[in-house]
Amino acid sequence: MQKRKLGKSNLEVSPLGLGCMGMSFGYGPAGDKQEMIPVIRAAVDRGVTFFDTAEVYGPFTNEELVGEALAPFRGKVVIATKFGFKLDPNTGKQAGLDSRPEHIKQVAEASLKRLRVDAIDLLYQHRVDPDVPIEDVAGAVKDLIREGKVKHFGLSEAGSKTIRRAHAVQPVTAVQSEYSLWTRGPEAEVLPTLEELGIGFVPYSPLGKGFLTGKINENTTFDSSDFRNIVPRFTPEARKANQALVDLLRKIAERKKATPAQIALAWLLAQKPWIVPIPGTTKLARLEENLGAAAVELTSDDLRDIESAASKIKVQGERYPEALEKMTGR
């Protein structure tokens, strides 16, 4: 796989990364560690050099998993993690946001230990904290970079004004936000800002939390611990309405001898050369399918057909419950 650079930075990674969250958190029961480690290592064997985690995934267990799995590949892979949530010391559950500089530094120290690294390759603010000026956040990460504990600074789900303010204090290497054929919010302001400033973009949930693979329909049921149960876009009615998008991907996939998931990822890769999606999976076969997207070539005609058909489809349902939706785009 040809490498991609995240914006103007010197951070070079595989064109597709691996989002590791779902191995420990979010999509039903956590996977067995001894089954997940081989999947992460198989990704390395197949050329993936970019892995995404966060302290809040688990919490903590996902960073530990990634740290153990990638220990043999120090210096050959890039690991991104995140700070910014307040965690209840008794339950470990999220209890709001906390991007105070002293908290950022504590989280970074703990993440270094769990990831078993001397420096965090890319440290994102997980969500913008309205109670802490972004300049203070960027300043705290700048200190960590100066100390050699962090190499690159990132933001997740930030709005364009916040990105500009942060970038003025400490250059931002990458912004991570949800982006796919059914979540196109970043196109309005964020992507043009990133292009102007020379910042890379890392789409998470590039397969629409699994929906764009074509393996989910209105009758699919999720485990009780799967957060899609509370996502408005995943109500049975919304899934039925949104099936039109999967049908479109399936049609293009047949033409290109690919799968709907591969078309969804190839579409993202075709948008900009500095976009690096991070699909997640717990299965080796799905990992191989996703990585196959890097070889799918979408012509300008293909992209025009997708655009024209997608513009007629109105996606039903918000991408997050209201409380979580409020934390995005600040």
Residues taking part in catalysis: 57
Cβ(150)–Cβ(172) below 8 Å: no
- Report how far residue 21's alpha carbon sits from residue 92's, in angstroms, rounded to the nearest whole number: 16
> Other CB atoms closer than 10 Å to residue 235's CB: what's the count?
16
Cβ(175)–Cβ(163) below 8 Å: yes
The dihedrals phi and psi of 150, each to the nearest 5 degrees, come to -135, 145
Those residues with Cβ within 8 angstroms of residue 246's Cβ, 6 or more apart along the chain or in another chain: 211, 212, 214, 260
Those residues with Cβ within 8 angstroms of residue 177's Cβ, 6 or more apart along the chain or in another chain: 156, 157, 158, 185, 186, 190, 201, 203, 204, 328
Q: Which of 201, 179, 208 is nearest to 280 (CA)?
A: 208
